[in-house]
């Protein structure tokens, strides 16, 4: 494991971003780039679009043109979990259109709060959309809807009280099961590890074990969001390692692994370098014992880095297409990270570097997931380009 981490560290330390910005003549009037509005009769794999040498005008032309005839056909055999958020309505449409390509959909709706001794409340229920859930299930038989449940505003005392008391844990799990049953949910994707790990790890494992057991007794699923097992930008172990996996894998149904957000505003670079993504799985499960429960994180958003301000901001599909139309950049394939990148300049904002997923970068990560024997978890549906879903 140490050798693997050392090699990863050397590979990523040597990584440099190379991209060129072609000069544009402001005096020349640019013609608007064309965009197809009709669906395609063949998937992107059969239209020679999954490639490293791509042009901005081709992405703009094709990005909406997915193969509607194969919208229900799966090309990736592993588990596929897709997150949807209330602030991105297009994700709800994607889940309905391509529902058959997913095994799980996780709406980011709910928060779990402790209100006092043996008193818990799930908030965010106003976002639960029963009509949408019925529509998704109608179009995709067997798909499980497992909203994310975020442990929110928990203090050290809250956590200590719950982890030290069987009665507290019992009330917590009763609250979760009751909400799942009344709201017609199939379980939860629990996000708690990063919030509470610094407090008391043994207690957290204990609490999660009880949560999983209670959900299973009610025939509900329990999936846990986990941070990367290799800390981004280093070759150090992360907050969730093989030790914790071995403790929790026997009782949990899956692990949503956050293999993205690798780079920072101070050190611009790729969203998820391929060597790091691979190492996160291999370090987490070196003996391939629990790979079938690991969901490799796949980001469908990008990042725009400002070189002059040491700042960055997320880029979603609509913004990405606007940038391609406005700047007509040269898209360069970073073979080490296996991501496309381009540069542009603002009149007053200086130089910017943008990493955003493409058909090729998504396909490479799906191929890696197949090789490693893991599923994928997508953050988030609606942030990417519609023709990405031909690949799933």
Section 211-230 average pLDDT: 98
CB 108 within 8 A of CB 146: no
Give the lowest-confidence range in 168-177, 288-297, 307-316. 307-316
pLDDT of residue 150 exceeding 70, the answer is yes
Q: What percentage of the chain has pLDDT greater than the value 70?
A: 91
* Token output for 67: 């193969």
Predicted pLDDT at 21: 40
- H or E segment at 377? strand 375-379
Section 155-179 average pLDDT: 94
Predicted pLDDT at 5: 46
pLDDT of residue 4 exceeding 90, the answer is no
Q: What is the pLDDT of residues 82-134, one digit of tens each?
A: 999 999 999 999 999 999 999 999 999 999 999 999 999 999 999 999 999 99
Predicted pLDDT at 26: 43
Q: Is the pTM above the cut of 0.85?
A: yes
CB 44 within 8 A of CB 50: yes
Q: How many CB atoms lie within 10 A of CB 314?
A: 14
Predicted pLDDT at 196: 66
Predicted pLDDT at 43: 98
For the chain, give me the number of helices (H) and strands (E)? 12, 16
Sequence-ordered list of residues with C-beta below 8 angstroms from that of 2, at least 6 positions apart, any chain = none
Q: What is the pLDDT of residues 34-43, one digit of tens each?
A: 999 999 999 9
Q: What angle do CA 342, 348, 352 make, to 5 degrees?
A: 20
Report the distance separating Cα 362 and Cα 302, nearest Å.
Answer: 12
Predicted pLDDT at 198: 58
Section 347-364 average pLDDT: 93
* Helices marked H in the chain: 2-13, 56-62, 89-97, 130-139, 156-163, 166-182, 193-196, 201-217, 242-248, 274-284, 317-327, 359-372
Q: What's the chain's average pLDDT? A: 92
Sequence-ordered list of residues with C-beta below 8 angstroms from that of 67, at least 6 positions apart, any chain = 39, 40, 41, 42, 43, 44, 390
Predicted pLDDT at 199: 55
Q: What percentage of the chain has pLDDT greater than the value 90?
A: 84
Predicted pLDDT at 24: 43
Predicted pLDDT at 1: 57
Report the distance separating Cα 222 and Cα 215, nearest Å.
Answer: 7
Measured CA to CA in angstroms, residue 50 lies from 17, 44, 225, 336, 366 at distances of 22, 7, 30, 18, 13
Report the distance separating Cα 294 and Cα 307, nearest Å.
Answer: 35
Report the distance separating Cα 252 and Cα 244, nearest Å.
Answer: 12
Predicted pLDDT at 213: 98
pLDDT confidence bin for 215, thresholds 50/70/90 = very high
């Amino acid at each position: 494991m140490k050798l693997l981490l050392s090699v990863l560290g050397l590979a990523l330390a040597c990584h440099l971003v190379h991209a060129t910005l072609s000069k544009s003549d402001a005096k020349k009037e640019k013609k608007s780039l064309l965009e197809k509005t009709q669906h395609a009769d063949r998937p992107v794999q059969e239209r020679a679009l999954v490639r490293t040498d791509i042009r901005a005008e081709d992405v703009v032309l094709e990005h909406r043109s997915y193969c509607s005839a194969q919208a229900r056909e799966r090309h990736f055999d592993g588990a596929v979990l897709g997150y949807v958020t209330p602030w991105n309505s297009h994700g709800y449409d994607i889940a309905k259109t391509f529902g058959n390509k997913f095994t799980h959909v996780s709406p980011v709706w709910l928060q779990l709060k402790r209100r006092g001794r043996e008193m818990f409340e799930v908030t965010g229920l106003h976002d639960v959309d029963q009509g949408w859930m019925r529509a998704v299930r109608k179009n995709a038989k067997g798909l499980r809807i497992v909203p994310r449940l975020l442990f929110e505003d928990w203090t050290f005392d809250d956590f200590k009280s719950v982890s030290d008391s069987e009665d507290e844990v019992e009330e917590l799990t009763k609250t979760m099961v009751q909400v799942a049953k009344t709201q017609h949910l199939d379980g939860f994707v629990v996000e708690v590890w990063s919030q509470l790990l610094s407090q008391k790890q043994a207690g957290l494992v204990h609490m999660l074990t009880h949560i999983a057991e209670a959900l299973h007794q009610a025939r509900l699923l329990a999936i846990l969001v986990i941070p990367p097992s290799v800390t981004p930008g280093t070759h150090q172990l992360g907050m969730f390692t093989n030790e914790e996996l071995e403790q929790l894998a026997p009782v949990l149904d899956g692990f949503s692994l956050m293999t993205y957000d690798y780079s920072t505003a101070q050190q611009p670079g790729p969203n998820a370098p391929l060597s790091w993504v691979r190492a996160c799985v291999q370090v987490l499960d070196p003996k391939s014992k629990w790979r079938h429960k690991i969901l490799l994180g796949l980001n469908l958003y990008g990042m725009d880095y400002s070189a002059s301000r040491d700042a960055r901001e997320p880029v979603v599909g609509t913004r990405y297409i606007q940038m391609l139309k406005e700047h007509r950049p040269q898209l360069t394939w970073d073979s080490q990270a296996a991501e496309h990148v381009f540069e542009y300049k603002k009149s007053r904002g200086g130089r910017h570097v943008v990493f955003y997923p493409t058909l090729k970068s998504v396909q490479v990560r799906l191929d890696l997931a197949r090789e490693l024997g893991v599923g994928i978890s997508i953050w988030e549906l609606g942030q990417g380009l519609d023709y990405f879903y031909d690949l799933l």
